[in-house]
Each structure stands twice: as C-alpha cells, then as structure tokens.
Amino acid sequence: MSKHSFQAEVNQLLDLMIHSLYSNREIFLRELISNASDALDKLKFLNVSDDCYKQIAFDPKIQIRFDTKDRKWLEIEDNGIGMNDQDLVENLGTIAKSGTKNFVSQLTGDRKKDSNLIGQFGVGFYSAFMVSDSIEVIAKKAGEDKAWKWTSDGKGEYTIEESNRESFGATIRLNLKEDAKEFANRWTLESAIKKYSNHIPFPIFLEYEQSEYDDQGKEKGKTKKNDQIGSATALWKRPKNSIKPEEYQEFYKTISHDSGETIATIHTQAEGALEYTTLFFIPAAAPFDLYRMDYRSGVKLYVKRVFITDDDKELLPSYLRFVRGVIDSEDLPLNVSREILQQNKILANIKNASVKKILSEIKKLSEDKEKYAAFHKEFGRCVKEGLYSDYANREELLELARFKTTASEGLMGFAEYKARMKPDQKAIYYIAGLNESLLRNSPLLESFKAQNIEVLIMDDEIDEFAISQINEYKDLPLKAINKSGANDDLPKTQNDDIIKAAEPIAQKVKKALGEEVKEVKISSRLASSPACLVLDENDPSVQMRQMYKMMGDMPLPDIKPILELNPSHEIVQKIGAIDDENLASDVSFLLFEQAQLVAGMTLKDPAAFGERLSRILSKAI
C-alpha cells in the first residue's frame, strides 16, 4: 500500500465541496455516470480500431448497486477502459487540467454560481464527496493483469494498493454519509438517472430487491431485480421531433460538465452525398478557458456512434471554441487517425457546413437585441476573431459584430449604422482605443459632433486588429478617425484663410518638437480643443503595435504621430506671438504632451513634462 497527498488545489476543492457547494447534491450521480460513459466510449473505440483490443469481449454497460439493508453504500460500475495505479494518481489525486488555481479562486463567491463551475473544470468526480464519508475505487485497465484500489476520505490523503477484480473497468463505492442515505434508494436513483442520464448511449442497470407478497398482503420474501434504466440510445441519432427540450439540456450538461443553461441548440441530420449528424449547443456563459491558448475542445467526434476523440481542435475553427456538441459521421473510417483527420475532405466538408449552420443560428439570435447583447457579452470577442481568421465566412461575421457608438447606449452592428447614416455620408467612421471614456471625449470627435455624424467606438483590444483586416462594408469604406485624412470629406470647422494664416505657427511648433513628431499641421477638424494627435494613414496605431508585439511578429520601427493644431484656439494663436524661444518650446511640448494624455498614450519623459509644467505655471502666477 502506498500513501499519497492530494495536490494542493484538490485539498482546497474538496474542503469547499464537502462543506459549501452543491445545493442539488444528486448531480454527483450525473458526473459519475458521465465518467463511466467516457470510459466505455474509449474502450469501444479501441475495440474496433486497435488490434490489441479487438479480441476483448466487450459488452458495454453501467451497473448501479446499493446497500438495500442499512443503506450505507452506493456503487457505480462500468466495464470500460479502466485504470492502473498511475492513472489513479493522475486522474484522482491531481487536477492536471489547466486553470485549476483560477477555478479554486472563483469558489469564494456566490455559492449558487460556484456550483455551476464544478464540471467545467473537469472535477466532477470529487462531487461524490458531498454525499460520502469515504470513497473506494477498484479498477483494472483493459489489457493489463493487475487491479488497483484507491481509497480516500477526502481529508488530504489517499492510498493505492493492489486489489482483486475479475474484469477490466472500474467500480466506485461511495460510503454514504448519514444525511445522504436517500441515495441508497431505488426510486431516488431511478428518478435521478432518468432526469440526468437518460441520454447516455450505453445501458444503465439498477440492481435492487423487490418484495413479494402473498394473497393476504404479507411479505413472503424478496427477489433480486436488475432493471435497465434509460434508452441507451445516442440522443443525437434520435429524430428531432422526439426529443424534449429538457432532454437536450441534460445531454448538454453531460457532455459539457456545465450546470448552466444553453441559449441555442442546433441539431442537424444530413443525408445525401455525405451522411452525418451534428448536435451543437451555444452555452449561456463562457467556458472558463475560453481565452487560454490551451483551451479544451468542446466537440466530440464519433464515427457510426463510436467515440473517436474529444481533443481535436480542428473539428471547428478556434473562434467557435465556445460551442459544445457532437459530430457523428457515417462515412469516416473507424481507424481514422488525428493526422488523417486534419487532411480529411469528408470532415472538412462537415466542418464547413457546421460553421455555416452555427453562424446562421447566431444570426437568428441577433434578431432579438436583448438576447444577442447577452450572447455578445460572452462571445463577442470570439466573433471578432473570426473576422480576421475565417475569410470564407467574413460577410456573415460582419453582420454579427457589434460595437459601442457615440450616438446611443448599447451595441450596434454595421447594418444598423448604415441605416442611420446621414444621406450625404460617404464612410463608416470609428475611433479605436482601450479606454472608452477617453475615446468618447476625444477631440477627434469634434467635427463629427458638429455635423451630427455617428462614430463607432471600438474599445475592446481585439476591435482594431479585427477591423484592420476589413476595408469596407457593403461598398462603404471604414475609416479610423485617428488617421490623417479621415475627415477630408466632411465640412471643415475652419475656413481656408484662417488655416493658411496659421501655417507659420505650425512650422514654429515643428521646429520646437523636432523628431518627436512626423509633422505638425493646422487642423480643419478641431472646434474647441487646442490640439490633437493623428497617425499617418499607413502607420499602425499604438494598440496595433502592442498586439503585433504580443503575437511575436517582427519588431516595428517607432511610429511618430502627426500633431494637428486648432488655429482658432487662444493658446495656438499666442504661440505665434512668443518671441522667447525657450518659452515657445515649453508651450509646444506641453501642447504635444497634453494631446498624448488625451489620446491615452504614455509620456516618453514624465519628469521633463513636470519641469515644463512648473516653468509655465510659475510664469502664469
């Protein structure tokens, strides 16, 4: 016998589970039956694809037993792939899955919310400790001779020792707590299984004793029964009109290990040149690992109802990684390998059709503004990823992207913006950055406000990168107003004579700033602010440069901004009258640095800025 300590995160998790979580404790049964189903899936695949396992007599089933006398224990047994001693350590002693620390940190808030997190982090097995004083797992891996026993009371340690088991698979025995004896009851178990696991594609048997009575109604003995519970039919293969909404929801919860709800169910049964079935779900809340590089695929691949893989990120494009579900093909070979999958034309066609179906369903969602706002809050960034990664579906994705706007609350798409444009407006205008407040108060908006022209506000870090890949929407150019020339087709806020008269001021400021700026221009876009910064239309913005850097692209040369001056502003006019070269330099730099701060940029030399400001304040006082 060997004694082990749980991984630190498991200890924290068990303490929270045992003392705090799951108001609905019967969910542990769904988690254990789901794990048993996964074990059967894995062996079923090997049984038809791997010569080493083809000789194994495999009659998949899940068996449930309980103590009928004292109601002290409950067993869930499967004849699936099984586990050896190393598997027991890896699967039951540690949570190797990424994000565990993040998960544990989230288990400190609202308990109702917490219970919805459990399955998403792959820790469903531990939910059994909510109803158990201790748990024993006796397992034997298919193809191996030794059986092993894992035992723990959930208090920090577990033991592993050799054991006896005739056949491969695993038996989990829960030694029930006093307040959990209800789970050693036929009707409780049958009800929970039908509620949560009726869609499991393997037979589930419940063993129990049934009393027999004589003609006078006296009990004359007990008979052992072993009834099959549930249909043992793959839910996705059933006709759509025979499936109730609650059955879809429970199936989703089983395959996703998410106790939350879905906002869309997409069930397709295709026949013809290709024969396949897909069942996809769009969850109401984002998976915890949505923005992690090592996210787990949410889609399982089957061939003729034989499980192939649940770890292939090529089944759907990465921007749809929030989708959960099943793909079942009748045309792929059972021995298909991961390498073959990536090159397979059949799967590529299924993938393409699936993407279009999912996007079509999201388009339907978008017709309800309130529902779509909730969807976009969770998955809007993923949709925008698709704008630069999925060229084939870019037109559809353009209709789904949403942004804030200067003219109204909430989010707006390009179609709605286009419908609200002024009759003589020639472009879709947007301003991008990471601070909504700074963007809404940007001096760059002054000429647009004067003309009552709406501007899209793109304050998500992905917005500018995604939009930079798109030049137009329905023949309308997309223009970033922080680029030079963006408002050339708008009426000027200054007349030509004022602009021409102020040219010497621009030259004076350029001389003072030197190489800090690419150019100093007299602006025709400013109304009340003294200055603003724009970029050359061919230069990437600060945010774009940061994103390229994060992506590991080649380093970009320093980009110098263009400083635009408002010729009607008192400060700008007074610069022209300054004879003191040092004072002119200080004022020019302060104008430039003020424009940088308003644009949300970081000052190159804050100390020098402070010194300049002190000198100017001293003169003013």
DSSP-based three-state secondary structure for 265: strand
**Beta bridge mates, 345:** none
Cα–Cα distance, 145 to 572 (Å, whole number): 88
Q: Which of 214, 597, 558, 275 is nearest to 442 (CA)?
A: 597
For residue 542, give Cα distances in angstroms to 51, 448, 557: 57, 23, 12
pLDDT band at residue 21 under the 50/70/90 scheme: low
> C-alpha angle with apex 419: 397 to 319, nearest 5 degrees?
10
Report d(CA 463, CA 370) in Å as an integer. 21
Q: Report the C-alpha gap between 173 and 74 in whole angstroms.
A: 6
Reported as a pLDDT band with limits 50, 70 and 90, residue 486 is confident
Q: Answer whether CATH 3.30.230.80 is correct for domain 237-365.
A: yes
Quickly name the fold that domain 404-620 has. Answer: Four Helix Bundle (Hemerythrin (Met), subunit A) (1.20.120)
Q: Between these two residues, 561 and 539, which has the higher pLDDT value?
A: 561
Chain centre to alpha carbon of residue 42: 26
Residues in the chain: 621
Calculate the dihedral angle through the C-alpha atoms of 5, 154, 158, 98, rounding to the nearest 10 degrees: -60
For 517-547, write each residue's pLDDT tens digit. 999 999 888 889 999 999 887 776 666 666 6
SS (H, E, C) 401-414: CCEEECCCCCCECH
- 121-130 pLDDT, tens digit per residue, is 345 788 888 8
Count helices and strands (H / E) in the chain. 21, 22
Highest mean pLDDT among 156-160, 212-216, 391-395, 491-495: 391-395
pLDDT for res 549: 62
The letter for the amino acid at 280 is F
Check residue 378 and give its pLDDT: 96
pLDDT of 316 higher than 80: yes
Any idea what the Cα angle at residue 266 is, between residues 261 and 271, rounded to 5°?
155
d(CA 200, CA 194): 10
Q: Tell me what percent of the chain is helix, strand and coil, each rounded to the nearest 5.
A: 40, 20, 40
Structural domain boundaries in the chain: 2-233, 237-365, 404-620
Q: 558: buried, middle or exposed (CB in 10 Å: 19+, 13-18, 0-12)?
A: exposed
Mean pLDDT, residues 226-246: 89
Architecture of the domain made up of 2-233: 2-Layer Sandwich (3.30)
Continuous segment of H or E residues that includes residue 574:
helix 570-576
Q: Which helix (H) or strand (E) holds 100?
A: helix 100-106
Higher-confidence position of 343 and 207: 207
More confident residue, 540 or 405: 405
Contact 518, 536 (CB under 8 A): yes
How many CB atoms lie under 10 A from the CB of residue 607? 8
Q: Which helix (H) or strand (E) holds 521?
A: strand 519-522
Q: Which of 105-109, 122-126, 330-334, 562-566 has the lowest mean pLDDT?
A: 105-109
pLDDT at 111: 40
Residue percentage of the chain with pLDDT more than 90: 54
Task: Please state, rounded to an integer, the average pLDDT across all residues of the chain.
Answer: 86
| The token pair that represents 402 in the structure block | 């949403």
